[in-house]
A and B are shown apart, each in its own frame.
Chain A
């Protein structure tokens, strides 16, 4: 079980610069994630964590500090770990925020109370490697490395006339002989039956209910579409070319490892109609995401953790994602594979390229879509990944190697298993 949530706090504008400096110290600390005040690497159940300051260009809102947490288990346990390792850092950070009352790092109850009061849970989220804990992901990566090294240690001509079955037996033998890999023999299922089954029941029921209620809903649907089209024709699409300094700052922090982080905050278009539409779309997206537990969301196989949440009474949409590959590739993938879903969500936010029927057009205007994506993106002040060089696909491959290491496989399955190396 994984939990995705953020702590969203308002930063005192007078203390903004000081907060930025402190976060920069944490981010630049080497080795990464081990700054003594906030050693996120010590949180053994934390997959990804980030701290992002969102400054409102329209100055309607105070700057926000969003602390993203993607972790194994439940909030209580996570809070304990956070306070145990990072009370000093948390106190220094939140001392820059409004409504914070702790007297010092030792005042853990007050820090915890503050964090609890500022928890924001997502309206929609996706997990690329569902059901795998940090520990399991790291162990299985090590297993793969060990086996690869074992296979390399045999001379090039050594395996030429070995059958797939006896090759696998050699690998099994190697794993059994290695006490450090003893855990590999205990198979763990990724998701429980209920975790796999219930989301499908929900999705199908919703589909059936919608189908049955269609005759009743139809008149409302027609009115909805008419209103939507009228709004879409008038929507403002005011997209300036991307600003150099912003792009340079954002791009400069990207592509240092295999994964990247993206944080964005958009204004939702004015009016209840758009706010309600966006809530409905996110609700639907979440239903779909819950059954997308095989590593892909709408064809995208590069998302580790992604989530959407409406804040400020539905007036702003926060999006946080930890993904594989370059920003350019990520956005292209979004446009190529998930244009409908992407447009369905962001067409309800300000200045998105012009859409038709909520999901058409929009992101297809790729140049301007990327421009607005950069403009709404914020610089990630602190970012931590527990496994920065593993892709979603690699993690899945490693799991499959482990799950099929022992147990019976027929000849064909054995060959396919060997292709995983």
Chain B
């Protein structure tokens, strides 16, 4: 099936790198009827995969509670997957995500109560002025009896470069959606590599990496009297029971996706102080080179982005965006890039199990389209705490939250036995909860590994929610709902 670009929200296809300023508005529905009118109005203005705008972009997502508030009926709500319905603050999801201790939902700044966040408006601008103008306009619109209030205005501000706050280049490797040749070319030219993944991994209703369509929420035709939504065309054999072809069903999921939002606070000074203390020389003096080396071991890339697999001993100019490498052939033991390093956990490439080809195939079923941006000012001196709040608004797109985002989080990042390790989690992004792991990191070496101990959690979850990113027709449908059930 050809991608229906005019019905797909733009953020699924584009990181909007031409729009370096961004803000995320979390909205609460006060009046469903007014909110529906607002949704109908904005549906026509949403940036789609087809309509690139030079100055600004806007996209819109809805939580499960938001969909219920807008008036979606129970039968349709139940056709959403359980991960989305429960939301990341629920006990089950928290356990899967490893959100314990300081990262537990009970201490989040927002999202603790799933019914407090209903919509997410993502606004991007080419510069501060463009973003401000767009935000002003949108907020004024919201003020004028839209039935919505702004719960939080999470500004990501301007991105000075592609580095996150710890100081490492980020967002180098991204999967490419099949059928998006321009993006594939761009990705290949920039990083010398492009992993092309079936559209169904990121867009509902399309064929996924299992060779079948990714199932999305459905609506009974009687609930769509205006016929806004397309017919549900999944083959009879692949449907859940009660959804057989003789029933007249409409596809609410088609061209939609799911967006995971997590506000991750980064304790930059603590991170570098830890690295510093762990790499003091025999006279207990700081060793800046060793400190940076250990940081690179945590990440799997040097601060510039150069991968340790290709340049194990020092940062290497010209390799900043290099992504054409694997682990199985060149670095199976992890002497360059540790098995437990952040990039190896987030994307094990060809190193999952003994068969590199099979590993690559399996890993493609767990990829994320990362769309996050840093927030807060860069730290002045990375070794000195300044108490300023900074971090990453982690955003990723996936068609199956359980099989993609949650899987990466549970089976790779926070898995204490990842890749044959024992008791360790991701040294950068993992939860170092002493109840669940040993707080260690093995840095493989020849002849002998070293072990870094007493790791702390350098990243804390401050808030989070799962959003449904409907197609444009899906948004129009939500705006057309009659009354609350």
Are B447 and A164 closer than 8 Å at their CB atoms?
Answer: yes
Q: A405: shortest Cβ distance to chain B, in Å?
A: 15
Chain B, residue nearest A301 (CB): B353
**Residue on B with the closest CB to A155?**
B282
Interface residues of A in 346-382 (CB under 8 A from B): 353-354, 364-368, 371
Interface CB pairs A-B, < 8 A, 27: A159-B448, A162-B447, A162-B448, A167-B447, A244-B85, A251-B92, A255-B410, A325-B411, A326-B96, A326-B407, A328-B403, A328-B406, A328-B411, A329-B410, A333-B362, A336-B358, A336-B361, A365-B238, A366-B210, A367-B215, A367-B400, A368-B238, A371-B240, A415-B447, A418-B447, A418-B448, A419-B446
Q: Indicate if B444 sits at the interface (CB-CB under 8 A).
A: yes
Interface residues of A (CB under 8 A from B): 148, 151-152, 156-157, 159, 162-164, 167, 237-242, 244, 247-248, 251-252, 255, 258, 299, 301, 324-326, 328-329, 332-333, 335-337, 353-354, 364-368, 371, 391, 393-394, 397, 415, 418-419, 421
Chain B residues contacting A159 (CB-CB under 8 Å) are 447-448
Q: For A415, list chain B residues within 8 Å (CB).
A: 446-447
Query: With A163-B447, A368-B238 in contact, is A326–B411 under 8 Å at CB?
Result: yes
With A162-B448, A329-B410 already in contact, 14 other A-B pairs whose C-beta atoms are closer than 8 Å: A151-B448, A152-B451, A159-B447, A164-B447, A240-B241, A240-B242, A248-B92, A325-B415, A328-B406, A332-B403, A335-B210, A336-B365, A364-B212, A421-B448
Q: Bound complex: CA of A325 vs CA of B215, how far in Å? A: 26
Q: Please tell me if the beta carbons of B355 and A364 are within 8 angstroms of each other in the complex.
A: no
| Segment at the interface with A among B124-132, B172-180, B190-198, B416-424 | B416-424
B85-117 vs A, Cβ < 8 Å mask (1 yes, 0 no)? 100000110011000000000000000000000
Closest A residue to B421 by beta carbon equals A394
Rounded to whole angstroms, the CA-CA distance of A298 and B82 in the bound complex is 31
Min CB gap B431→A, angstroms: 13
- Check B211 for interface membership: any CB of A closer than 8 A: yes
- Interface: B5 (CB within 8 A): no
Please state if B240 and A365 are interface contacts (CB–CB under 8 Å): no
Indicate if the CB atoms of B237 and A258 lie closer than 8 Å: no
Report if B286 contacts A (CB, 8 A). Answer: no
Query: With A251-B92, A299-B355, A368-B240 in contact, is A242–B82 under 8 Å at CB?
Result: yes
Measured between beta carbons, the chain B residues less than 8 angstroms from A332 are 362, 365-366, 403, 407
A114 to B99, CA, bound (A): 47
B410 and A326 contacting across the interface, CB-CB below 8 Å:
yes
Q: Are A394 and B358 in contact (CB under 8 A)?
A: no
Q: Which residue of B lies closest to A145 (CB)?
A: B422
Report the bound CA distance from A185 to B188 in whole Å. 54
- The answer on a CB contact under 8 Å between A255 and B96 is yes
Interface pair B95/A255, CB less than 8 Å apart: yes
Top 8 nearest A-B pairs (CB, nearest first) are A164-B447, A336-B362, A238-B241, A329-B411, A241-B240, A240-B241, A391-B417, A366-B210
- Write the nearest CB–CB distance from B407 to chain A, whole angstroms: 6
Q: Does B74 contact A (CB under 8 A)?
A: no
Contacts of A252 in B (CB 8 A): 91-92
Contact A365–B410 (Cβ < 8 Å): no
Q: Contact partner of A394 among B85, B211, B420, B444, CB < 8 A?
A: B420
Distance in angstroms from B211 CB to nearest chain A CB is 6
Bound complex: CA A325 to CA B400 (Å): 19
Interface centre among B79, B96, B444 (most CB of A within 10 A): B96
Q: Is B381 an interface residue (CB 8 A)?
A: no
Q: How many Å from the CB of A247 to the closest CB on chain B? A: 6
What 1/0 flags go to B438-476 for Cβ under 8 Å of A? Answer: 000000101111110100000000000000000000000
Task: Please give me the residue from chain A that is nearest to B242 by CB atom.
Answer: A240
For B90, give the chain A residue with the smallest CB separation: A248
Residue of B nearest to A414 (CB): B447
Interface: B78 (CB within 8 A): yes
Query: B residues within 8 A CB of A301?
Result: 353
Contacts of A240 in B (CB 8 A): 240-242
B402 within 8 A of A: yes
What's the Cα separation between A238 and B243 when bound, in Å?
Answer: 10
Known A326-B410, A367-B215: A239·B241 in contact at CB below 8 Å: yes
Bound together, the chains give a CA A162 to CA B445 distance in angstroms of 13
Asked if B14 is at the interface (CB within 8 A of a chain A CB), the reply is: no
How far does the alpha carbon of A368 sit from the alpha carbon of B208 in the complex, in Å?
14
Cβ of B162 < 8 Å from any Cβ of A?
Answer: no
Q: Give Cα A391–Cα B96 distance, bound, in whole angstroms.
A: 19
Tell me whether A394 and B407 are in contact in the complex, defined as CB-CB below 8 angstroms, given that A244-B82, A415-B446 are known contacts: no
**CB–CB B444/A258 < 8 A:** no
Which residues does chain A contribute within 8 Å of B238, judged by CB atoms? 353, 365, 368
Contact call A394/B417, Cβ cutoff below 8 A:
yes
Per the bound structure, the CA–CA distance linking A266 and B415 in Å amounts to: 31
A239 B240 Cβ-Cβ under 8 A: yes
- Chain B window 123-160, contacts with chain A (Cβ cutoff 8 Å), 1 for yes, 0 for no: 00000000000000000000000000000000000000
Question: In the complex, what distance in Å separates the CA atom of A3 from the CA atom of B358?
Answer: 33
